Amino acid sequence: MSVPSSPSKDFIREIIDEDLSSGKHDSTVTRFPPEPNGYLHIGHAKSICLNFGIAEEYGGRCHLRFDDTNPSKEDVEYVDSIKEDIQWLGFDWGDHLYFASDYFDKLYKWAKHLIDEGKAYVDDQTFDEIRKGRGDLTTPGTDSPFRDRSAEENLELFKAMKKGEFDDGSKVLRAKIDMAHPNLNMRDPILYRIARAHHHRTGDEWCIYPMYDFTHGQSDALEYVTHSLCTLEFENHRPLYEWFLDNLPVPSQPRQIEFSRLNLNYTVMSKRKLLQLVEDNHVNGWDDPRMPTISGLRRRGYPPEAIRNFCKTIGITKFQSTNDMALLESGVRDVLNRDARRFMAVLDPLKVVITNYPEGQSEEIETVANPENPDAGMRHFSFSREIYIERDDFMEDPPKKYFRLSPGNEVRLRNAYFIKCEEVIKDADGNITELHCTYDTDTPRGENPSDGRKVKGVVHWVSAAHSVDATVRLYDRLFSVESPDSAEGTFLDHLNPDSLTEMPNAKLEGNLAGVPNGETVQFERLGYFCVDKESSAENRVFNRTVGLRDSWAKVKAKS
C-alpha cells in the first residue's frame, strides 16, 4: 500500500513505512488494550491517539481489546467508560471490539502445549517463595523444587487447577525458561494463577486466569496485529513477548514497539493512586474535574481537539520526560478562544443601583457572540436600572493607579455606559451591601462623552432583573507541587487545599440559561466555564475549565 507523506515522522511511523515498503505487511493493524479496572487518564489518551491515529493515516484498523484477565478488579462500569472516552476523543473501533476473555479457551490449550513441550510446569510454591527464588539483577534465581516434574504430572495438575480442585494461591503454572537469565522477566514467569473471582463476561466458568504477559502477545497474534505499540515500562517484557510467539503455534507474528509514556506535572498517573483518591473521598468520583482522567477533563470542559493536539505536540519518542500542565492548558485556550461563545457573569456579586436610570425600564444591547469567529453572529442582552458587578471591581479607599470603580470615580460598563459611584450603602456591621451610581447618557457602547473625557477602567456586569442564579465551581490543580510522587512524604500530603472553591451566589447573563450541559463558554474577563452534567434549569452549575491566562506562571517564577 502507499505510505502517507510527511515532512517529519516519529520513529514508529518510520518503522511502519519500512515494513510496508518492504512488503513485510500489506496493511497496518494496531490495538488499544486497556484493563477495565479503572477510568482512563490523559496518559492513555496518548496511546489512543497513536494507535487509532496510525490506523487512520495508513488506511488500516485499530482494535479495542479489553485485557480482562484480573476479574477481582474489573467492572462493566469501567468497560463502558473506556468506550465513551475513546469515542469522545474522536475515534472508533468499528467492528473490532475484543476481550482477552474471548481467547481463554485458546490460551488454555496453548498453556497445555507448553506443558507437552516441557516448557511449562506447575509450581506449588507460594507467591512469596517464588518472588524470593527469582533473585535480583546481580543474583541468579534458584530452580523451583517442582521444576522437573514430568509433562504428564504437570498436565494432570493443570487440569485439576482448572477444575477447581486446589485452593487459591496454592499452585501456579510457570514457563520453564532460564532462572539465571539476565532479564528477570525470563526467570520462569507465572502463566496462570488460581483465583476464584466472578468474571464480568465469563461468570464463574473459570477459576484459573492467565497473566498479562501470557495473554497479550497471543491476543495480538490471534487478531493479526502488525505493530503492538506500548509504553516503555514494557520494554523489558519484550523478550518474553517474543518467546511466547516463538514457542506457540500462533497464526501471526506481531512486533512490539515501545514509546515513552505521557507524564504530566501537578498530578499523578497511577491507577492505584487515582483509585485511592476516589475511594478516600479526596475527590468526588473518577470524573471529578480535578482528576487527570479523560472523563474528568471532559466534565471540566476540555475540548477533545485540545487533547489530541497536545498529544501531537509532545510527540512520540523513546525518552521519558514530564510535560508541563501549562502546555496542555494553553492548547485548551487556543481551541476555546476560537470556538467558545462569550457571555458575562459575576461570581461574587455586588448590587449597583443606577439612580438616574428610569425604574422599570430596560434596553437591549447587541455585541458579537465571539470576536474570533465571525460566523458565530451576534448576541443580545439586557441593561436595566439595577445591575451586579464583581465585588472586587469596587474599592472604597483605592490605591493610586486603581482604575476600577471607587467613590467619585467613573468606569465603563462593558458594552454599555459610563457610571460614577455616588454613594456606598452599608449594613449595621459596616459591610458594603450596594452602590448607588449615576450613568452618563452621552456614553453609549463604543462612544466617549462629548466633553472628551476618558476612563481607563472597564468592568463587566449583568442586569439584576434578567440574571440567572448559579453555582460556579472554581477548579484548580489537584496538587500544589509539580511532582507529588517524588516530593517529601506521600502524594496525599501535597493535595492543593484550594483545588476547589464554590461560588454559590453567582449571577449570570440571562442568555446562559439556555446553554446546554457540556458546552464550554467564556465568561468575559474570568475564563472558560463548562455547564456541569448535573446542572438543571432550577440549579445551574458551571465548572471553570481554565483561566484566560496561566495563573501558575508567577508561582513557578518565584519557586
- Does 27-259 match 271-342+470-558 in CATH topology? no
Tell me how far the alpha carbon of residue 240 is from its chain's centroid: 31
Does residue 440 carry a pLDDT above 60?
Answer: yes
Q: What is the DSSP string of 97-146?
A: EEEGGGGHHHHHHHHHHHHHTT-EEEE-S-HHHHHHHT--SSS-----TT
Residue type, 309: N
Q: How far apart are CA 393 and CA 439, in angstroms?
A: 17
- Expressed in angstroms, the distance from the first to the final Cα of the chain is 53
Mean pLDDT, all residues of the chain: 95
Does residue 515 carry a pLDDT above 80?
Answer: yes
Q: Residue 389 has what pLDDT? A: 98
Please pick, among 9, 35, 196, 434, the residue that the annotation labels catalytic.
35
Is domain 343-466 classified as CATH 2.40.30.10?
A: no
Q: Residue 552 has what pLDDT? A: 60
Q: How far apart are CA 526 and CA 486, in angstroms?
A: 33
Is 445 noted as a catalytic residue in this protein? no
204: which residues sit within 8 A by CB, 6+ positions away?
A: 196, 198
Q: Residue 431 has what pLDDT? A: 96
Please pick, among 83, 119, 134, 261, the residue that the annotation labels catalytic.
261
Q: What is the mean pLDDT of residues 232-251?
A: 98
Task: Domain 271-342+470-558: give its CATH code.
Answer: 2.40.240.10
Is 73 noted as a catalytic residue in this protein? no
Is 165 noted as a catalytic residue in this protein? no
Q: What is the mean pLDDT of residues 207-218?
A: 98
**pLDDT tens-digit map of 386-424:** 999 999 999 999 998 899 999 999 999 999 999 999 999
Q: Residue 396 has what pLDDT? A: 94
Q: Residue 8 has what pLDDT? A: 73
Please pick, among 171, 271, 300, 507, the residue that the annotation labels catalytic.
271
Per-domain residue ranges of the chain: 27-259, 271-342+470-558, 343-466
Q: What is the mean pLDDT of residues 45-67?
A: 97
Does residue 451 carry a pLDDT above 90?
Answer: no
CA dihedral for 68, 74, 80, 81, sign (positive or negative): negative
Show the cell assigned to 538: 432550577
CA nearest neighbour of 506 among 553, 450, 467: 467
> Which stretches within 30-99 are classed as H helix?
42-57, 76-89
Going by pLDDT thresholds of 50, 70 and 90, the confidence category of residue 374 is: confident
Show the cell assigned to 186: 525470563
Residue pair 466/384 in contact (Cβ under 8 Å)? The answer is yes
Going by pLDDT thresholds of 50, 70 and 90, the confidence category of residue 554 is: low
Enter the pTM of the model: 0.93
Q: What's the Cα-to-Cα distance from 252 to each of 25, 155, 242, 247, rounded to whole Å?
A: 11, 26, 12, 12
Residue type, 169: G
Q: Residue 258 has what pLDDT? A: 98
Kindly report the CA angle at 23 between 22 and 28, in degrees rounded to 5?
110
**pLDDT tens-digit map of 285-341:** 999 999 999 999 999 999 999 999 999 999 999 998 999 999 999 999 999 999 999
- Judged on CB neighbours under 10 Å (0-12, 13-18, 19+), 91 is buried
Residue pair 209/70 in contact (Cβ under 8 Å)? The answer is yes
Domain 27-259: give its CATH architecture: 3-Layer(aba) Sandwich (3.40)
Q: How far apart are CA 220 and CA 229, in angstroms?
A: 11
Going by pLDDT thresholds of 50, 70 and 90, the confidence category of residue 520 is: very high
**pLDDT tens-digit map of 464-490:** 999 999 999 999 999 999 999 999 999
Does residue 453 carry a pLDDT above 90?
Answer: no
